[in-house]
Amino acid sequence: MLKHTIILTVVAVTLMAITLFFGYANAKEPDEGGLSGFIAIGGGVDIGKSSLDDASDDDNDLIYSLSQSAKSETRFEAVLYGELTYTLAESGTSFTLSSMENPIELSVSQKIGSFGSISLGAAYNEEEVYADPFQTGVVRGKTDMSAKIFSIDLDDIMETGIWVGYTHEIIDLDNDLAGLRNADLRREGKVHTISAGAPIFSTEAHELSAMLSYTDGSFEGKSNDYCGYALGLSHTYTAGQWELETFAEAVLRDYDNSHPEFSKTREDREYTVGSIVTWFDPFGMTDYFIAGMAAYTAVDSNIKFYDESHAVMELAVGYRF
């Protein structure tokens, strides 16, 4: 795969996006160590069109053409997020178990004086994908794709609020029929992501943050090799018991080689905008919160097969401890 030298010249957002639905900032930090965390339960709705490559939408299991339009669907889903942290008072070491962006994630974080803190994390994710997404005229069979994710982060470097991170992801498939049919379509591989972020300005009521990242995806099937760039901005407004976060992100993914099914090199442009509003201690109930989120995400690809768009709304009640 082509190697790229990245010069970070633009400041942009940290969107830890739908992770940001409640985010780590909502968890209380014990003054002298001990147990802390939060749990949030609720529901949501997803209205939109999944790509024809997305096996989570059963309505698209049978397709007759690789250029047909995906079906629009409305899905209702339960919301359950949580985080549990135990901090050692003497050393400042924290151990965290969370279910946020990934089903299960474990991490350990160590404060290093005024330098900031360093965190090591490991996560596992699994989802159903099509064994051969490019089959037409028959119901496409499904298989499991797993991802082992390892990360290292440096936070609040020299008490500036600046952070940097690196993530290494290993992707495996149980039964990659597309890859067996054509080696250039193999989907097993590794993904490396380097991220950095910083606050642009902060007052008692307002905080504007920025993040950018670079991703290098290297796969056994060379048509899937890509490099990606993400930019965005996030603004938080706090007033009494209320907090409003507004975010926007743009992601570019450029692939290195021609796709054998479409005879062109793939290019994706992904955009996300949204807001989260949180009401802390509602109706006088200490340590509870109510949070609502609305976001819109669209993927515009030069290969129609990969186009998708989603409008998502969620509402949940949570408890911090």
Q: What is the pLDDT along the chain (321 residues), one digit of tens a residue?
A: 433 333 232 223 333 333 333 333 344 444 567 999 999 999 999 999 999 999 987 888 999 999 998 888 899 999 999 999 999 988 889 999 998 777 789 999 999 988 899 999 999 999 999 999 999 999 999 999 999 999 999 999 999 999 999 999 999 999 999 999 999 999 999 999 999 999 999 999 999 999 999 999 999 999 999 999 999 999 999 999 999 999 999 999 999 999 999 999 999 999 999 999 999 999 999 999 999 999 999 999 999 999 999 999 999 999 999
Assess contact for 271 and 250: CB atoms under 8 A. yes
- Return the exposure string of 179-203: e unless at least 16 CB atoms fall within 10 Å of the residue's CB, then b: beeeebbbbebebebebbbbbeeee
What span, in angstroms and rounded, lies between the C-alpha atoms of 17 and 255? 24
CB 130 within 8 A of CB 55: yes
Please answer whether residues 309 and 49 qualify as being in contact, where contact means their C-beta atoms are separated by less than 8 angstroms.
yes
Task: Return the DSSP state at 138.
Answer: S
Look up the pTM and report it.
Answer: 0.85
